[in-house]
A and B are shown apart, each in its own frame.
Chain A
Amino acid sequence: QQQVKQSPQSLIVQKGGISIINCAYENTAFDYFPWYQQFPGKGPALLIAIRPDVSEKKEGRFTISFNKSAKQFSLHIMDSQPGDSATYFCAASQKNAGYSTLTFGKGTMLLVSP
């Protein structure tokens, strides 16, 4: 029940295209859903996050769509650029845990071709 399932495992997108990564969760107590971006040799860096009281959040080219009833959320990267090539992790945490321990998905390796 603590799992966060992420797909696809890898993704190749042309420059300028839209990258879409999907995640699903089971634990209805989760109430914070961040996306992390990780470049090789670096730690995960927060990209964008959403709480379940909204269905969409947009920051620049990055948008999270959230479907509470389906327990799914997704990351959309508009106008994908080669510099976006990285591994993307969705994650979830629950407020009542008090300490915001993150449960991560397995990650998606995104390659944006020039």
Chain B
Amino acid sequence: EPEVTQTPSHQVTQMGQEVILRCVPISNHLYFYWYRQILGQKVEFLVSFYNNEISEKSEIFDDQFSVERPDGSNFTLKIRSTKLEDSAMYFCASLGQPNQPQHFGDGTRLSIL
């Protein structure tokens, strides 16, 4: 079964540094998402992306965050100047058609020191 793959599985970064989280969505999917999950808390929506532009973003997704689909396969989340509170699991998801299930990757654990 096709999978969403995320790299790296664990990223440790100094506060204030830039970090890029990478995702390869399922190949024929058109909608892409980033979610985050702070340890022990619920999964929270960050941003959705369709047709090479952001379609929706949450209050969490401020100017420090950006997303990009640099080629036909990768989907990236960049945090420009990381803060301690950015420490979380970041999940990428993709879906083929609206109201079909979103498929999640296994996440990147981001630890900010």
**Residues of A in contact with B (beta carbons under 8 Å apart):** 31-32, 34, 36, 41-46, 49, 89, 93, 95, 97-107
A43 to B50, CA, bound (A): 22
Mostly, the B contact residues are strand
Q: Which residue of B lies closest to A105 (CB)?
A: B42
**Residues of B in contact with A (beta carbons under 8 Å apart):** 4, 31, 33, 35, 41-45, 48, 50, 55-56, 91, 93, 95, 98-107
Q: A42-B106, A43-B91, A43-B104 are in contact. Are A100 and B45 (CB under 8 A)?
A: no
Find chain B residues with CB under 8 A from A49 CB.
101
CB pair B33–A44 under 8 Å, yes or no, is no
Q: A32-B99, A93-B99, A106-B42 are in contact. Are A98 and B106 (CB under 8 A)?
A: no
- Other-chain residue from B45, B106, B107 in contact with A102 (beta carbon distance below 8 A): B45
How many whole Å from A106's CB to the nearest CB in chain B?
4
CB pair A103–B99 under 8 Å, yes or no, is no
